[in-house]
Amino acid sequence: MKELTVNTSKSYKIQIERGCLGKTGKLAERLFKPGAKAVLVSDSNVLPLYGERVKQSLEAAGFSVHTFAFPAGEESKQLSCIAQIYSECAKHRLTRSDFLVALGGGVTGDMTGFAAATYLRGIPFIQIPTSLLAQIDSSVGGKTAVDLPQGKNLVGAFHQPCLVLIDPDTLETLPQRFLSDGMAEAIKYGCIKSRELFDMIYKEDIRQNMEELIYRCVDIKREIVQRDEFDTGERMLLNFGHTFGHALEKLYGFSKLSHGEAVGIGMVMMAKCGESMGITKPGTTNEIIAALRKFQLPTSDPMPIDQILSATAFDKKNSGGMIGLILLKQIGEGFVDRIYRDRLAELTEVLQ
């Protein structure tokens, strides 16, 4: 068992342990009074797999538990689904002494966190991520959001969980495509902060060392979030590959490319831009491509660059006519460069 503490405006524990789903109730007892009510939010894929185990654990600890499931997929990450979660909370008369539980991948965690941040102006929630992407990235740090037709994660709030439970056993039921999806985010952590992590991912059989991978990625994010909880500086590094990646997701209607696939392509695009500018060490792009291909992740896309650039107009890193680009000096060393948006087309000529 590995445990980390995130010291932000509200401190909380992250527990990484095989089989910890069955301990949800005992761990929740440390946070909530006996008899508190909970709404367990999950999707149509995950709830049948793990919902009953978590529900029984909570009920054995004396909590009153209700479940709510939505159709699996990014397409559900809408305000209309949040309204359904609100209705479920109101139906069971949840108060600020009660809590939500997010059981699932990044979509579940983002939506449940946003509902918790806004219902009664804020109630507690527990994150139980079941996908690799959610375990190493989206479940930690308190970013919550839903999508709009204009772009990804455009409506949201910062709302830290009160506990994160990561059970690596849940990855055993994860389809290969979505395991690879999470590996794209792991590669991102290596690119921006740790050459050692990048080499471990590329050179080793990572399936044999999954708990260590999760721990290292979460620890990197924990340290960044502690220094920049509200995403005004260093935390922007975590968006390496996301400017173009989010644009591709939007252009394909959040259906053709998974988040990790889109981010992987975005990392390659940004590394190419960095090399062409003389900022990024030559050969970095090829290293990223090789790491992505190890996990059968795409490294390019036929979408015209002018359409991708247009779709970045709603990127959250835009501010006052400028955009924050996350670039690399070399593998393991990322930085944020603010440029005027009208320079973006010039920098991406190399991608034509």
- For residue 94, which of 53, 125, 129 has the smallest C-alpha distance? 125
pTM of the prediction?
A: 0.94
Instruction: Please name every residue paired with 39 in a beta bridge, in sequence order, or none if there are none.
Output: 66, 100
- Distance from C-alpha of 227 to C-alpha of 265, rounded to nearest angstrom: 28
Q: Specify whether the CB–CB gap between 153 and 128 falls below 8 A.
A: no
Please report, to the nearest 10 degrees, the dihedral formed by the alpha carbons of residues 65, 104, 43, 256 taken in order. 170
Q: Between 312 and 217, whose confidence is greater? A: 217
- For residue 262, which of 98, 148, 151, 118 has the smallest C-alpha distance? 151
User: How many C-beta atoms lie closer than 10 Å to residue 27's C-beta?
Assistant: 17
Sheet strands (E) in 193-309? none
Q: Specify whether the CB–CB gap between 68 and 40 falls below 8 A.
A: yes
- Distance from C-alpha of 70 to C-alpha of 77, rounded to nearest angstrom: 10
| pLDDT tens sequence across 159-186 | 999 999 999 999 999 999 999 999 999 9
The confidence score (pLDDT) of residue 318 equals 66
The letter for the amino acid at 297 is L
- For residue 336, which of 247, 240, 245, 243 has the smallest C-alpha distance? 240
Sheet strands (E) in the chain? 2-6, 12-16, 37-43, 64-70, 99-104, 125-129, 143-148, 151-158, 163-166, 318-319, 322-330, 333-340
| pLDDT tens sequence across 259-273 | 999 999 999 999 999
B/e letters for 91-116, b = 16+ CB within 10 Å, e = fewer, are: eeebeeebbbbbbbbbbbbbbbbbbb
pLDDT > 90: what percent of the chain? 87
Q: How many CA atoms lie within 13 A of 20 on its CB side?
A: 21
- Distance from C-alpha of 65 to C-alpha of 55, rounded to nearest angstrom: 6
Work out the mean pLDDT of the chain and round it to a whole number.
Answer: 95
- Distance from C-alpha of 240 to C-alpha of 67, rounded to nearest angstrom: 35
The confidence score (pLDDT) of residue 78 equals 97
pLDDT > 70: what percent of the chain? 99
| Pairing of the two strands 12-16 and 2-6 | antiparallel
The confidence score (pLDDT) of residue 244 equals 95
Q: Specify whether the CB–CB gap between 270 and 244 falls below 8 A.
A: yes
Instruction: Please name every residue paired with 143 in a beta bridge, in sequence order, or none if there are none.
Output: 158
| pLDDT tens sequence across 85-137 | 999 999 999 999 999 999 999 999 999 999 999 999 999 999 999 999 999 99
